Chain A
Amino acid sequence: MDKKKIHELKLKANTLRQDVITTLLAAGAGHTGGPLGMADVFSALYFHFVKHDPKKPHWDGRDRVVLSNGHICAILYCALAESGYLPKEELKTFRKINSRLQGHPNRSDLPGVETSAGSLGQGICVAVGMALAGKLDKKPHTVYALMGDGELNEGACWEAFLNAHKFKLDNLLVMVDRNDIQIDGFGHDVLPLDPLPDKFKAFGFDVFEGNGNDMEQVVKTTEKALKTKNGKPRVILWRTTMGKGVDFMENLPKWHGIPPTQEQADEALKQLRAQRTKLEAEKP
Chain B
Amino acid sequence: MNASKTLHPALFDKPEKKATRDAFGEALLELGKQNPNVVALTADLGESVRTAAFEKAFPERFFEVGICEQFMMAAAAGLALEGKIPFATTFANFGSGRVYDHVRQSVCYNRANVKIAVTHAGLTLGEDGATHQMLEDLGMMRTLPHMTVVNPCDFIETRKATFAVATWKGPCYLRMGRSGVPMITTEQTPFEIGKSNVLLEGSDASIAACGVMVYPALVAAKELEEKHKISVEVVNHHTLKPFDAKQLVKSAKKCGALVTAEEHQRTSGLRAACAEVLSESLPTPIQYVAVEDSFGESGKPDQLLEKYGLTTASIVKKALAAVKMKK
Contacts and interface: CB of A to CB of B under 8 A. Distances in A.
Interface of A: 106-108, 114-119, 121-123, 125-134, 136-137, 155-156, 159-160, 162-163, 166-167
B77 interface: yes
Given A136-B61, A156-B102, A125 B78 contact: yes
Q: Which of B75, B77, B78, B104 has the most CB of A within 10 A?
A: B78
Contacts, number: 108
A132 B71 contact: no
Given A106-B109, A125-B102, 16 more contacts: A107-B81, A114-B81, A115-B78, A116-B106, A122-B102, A123-B106, A125-B70, A125-B71, A125-B78, A128-B71, A129-B77, A129-B78, A129-B82, A160-B71, A163-B66, A166-B65
B202 to A, nearest CB: 44
A182 B73 CA distance: 26
Contact of B83 (A118, A122, A133): A133
Interface in B89-113: 101-102, 104-106, 109-111
Contacts of B63: 132, 163, 167
Q: From DSSP, what is the main secondary structure of chain A's interface residues?
A: helix
B61 A163 contact: no
A128 B75 contact: yes
A126 B66 contact: no
A119 B99 CA distance: 12
A163 B65 contact: yes
Nearest to A66: B78
Contact of B78 (A106, A119, A130, A159): A130
Interface residues of B, number: 30
Interface in B260-314: none
A116 B66 contact: no
B169 to A, nearest CB: 14
Contact of A125 (B66, B75, B86): B75
Contact of B70 (A129, A137, A156): A156
Q: Which of A106, A119, A156 has the most CB of B within 10 A?
A: A156
B82 A116 contact: no
B68 A108 contact: no
Contacts of B109: 106-108, 116
A156 B66 CA distance: 12
